[in-house]
Amino acid sequence: MIGRPSVPRSGWHPATVVANTPETTSAARLELEVEGWPGNAAGQHLDVRLTAPDGYTATRSYSIASSGPATGDVTRVVLAVDRVPDGEVSPFLVDVARAGDRVEVHGPLGAFFVWQPAAASAAAAGSGESDAAGGPVPSAPRPVQLIAGGSGVVPFVAMAQAHADADDATPFRLLYSVRTPADVFFAPEFERLVSASAPFRLDLVYTREAPAGWPMAPARITREALAEAVLPASDAPLVYVCGSTGFVERVASWLIELGHDARAIRTERFGGT
């Protein structure tokens, strides 16, 4: 079911950094091998805990860029972490963490900001269920509109990959607001997803610097640009919005003004700017 998918139970797990590679000028892609990871649904997050030699701990939440069931005792989890200046955890993960470093992770967390392919959703729902708004589950899967600001795209690469892996026929669109071409997360993955057989469309909005020849001058997204780039309310899409608190609240209020059902909009704010 769409509203409350069945997701693995969370817990604390020891994890080892397997790889740390630059993702953008300010972010790194981290592959972790997590002992006893139970698998996760696309869109879930985890908490990373670092412990200093004196016992001081710092914990932060990160969206998971990968998804899938557990595959044995040790499972690979992919994160993409943006460096928060003066942060307690992200500068370590982006600039310091190397293969072999150990951290602790708590997860998978959150069943709200999750998308699962129709087969998995139906299996989780059984029959005669109702959705989050209390209505009957639609017989056809609802089209999905994803809207990301900056590093808010991380859960969406997991959702789009799950959609492609299942060869799911649900129409999927991603509107991705990003500062410059160098700030695009998962650029090669999205290029592949666009040409995969599952229907997926990517619309990029550059806010500070656009590639040469780009038809639009760089600018923050407006209500009008949003209206043009997202599935119309008449298609009754499920809409997921992830980004800074300001971005998410601006976009969510415009979606309501454009006639989208508030119950069909799922938001995840990560604070910041």
Residues at the site binding other proteins, with contacts judged by CB under 8 A: 3-4, 6-7, 10, 45-47, 59, 61, 106-107, 109-113, 132, 245, 266-272
Shortest distance, position 114 Cβ to other proteins, whole Å = 9
- Output 121 or 171, the one with its CB closest to other proteins: 121
152: helix, coil or strand? helix
Which residue pairs from 25-29 have beta carbons closer than 8 angstroms and sit at least 24 positions apart in sequence?
Answer: 25/182, 25/183, 26/82, 26/83, 26/94, 26/183, 27/80, 27/81, 27/82, 27/83, 27/94, 27/151, 27/185, 28/80, 28/81, 28/83, 28/93, 28/94, 28/95, 28/97, 29/65, 29/78, 29/79, 29/80
Read off the tokens for 216. 């639009």
Q: How far is the CB of 113 from other proteins (least distance, A)?
A: 6
Which of 224, 242, 243, 235 is closest to 260 using CA atoms? 235
CB of 247 to other proteins, least distance (A): 12
Minimum distance from CB of 22 to other proteins (Å)? 27
Least distance between other proteins and beta carbon 142 (Å): 18
Q: Which is nearer to other proteins, 10 or 66 (CB)?
A: 10
* Nearest distance in Å: CB 11, other proteins: 8
User: Which is nearer to other proteins, 49 or 201 (by Cβ)?
Assistant: 49
Three-state SS string across 100-129, please? CCEEEEEEEECCCCCCCCHHHHHHHHCCCC
Rounded to whole angstroms, how far apart are CA atoms 143 and 172? 6
Q: Which of 28, 111 has the CB closer to other proteins?
A: 111
User: How many angstroms separate the CA atoms of 106 and 13, rounded?
Assistant: 6
Q: Which is nearer to other proteins, 16 or 61 (CB)?
A: 61
* Closer residue to other proteins, CB minimum distance, 92 or 112: 112
Closest distance to other proteins from the beta carbon of 273 (Å): 8
CA pair distance 161, 200, nearest whole angstrom: 10
CA distance 152 to 5: 21
109 vs 230, beta carbon nearer other proteins: 109
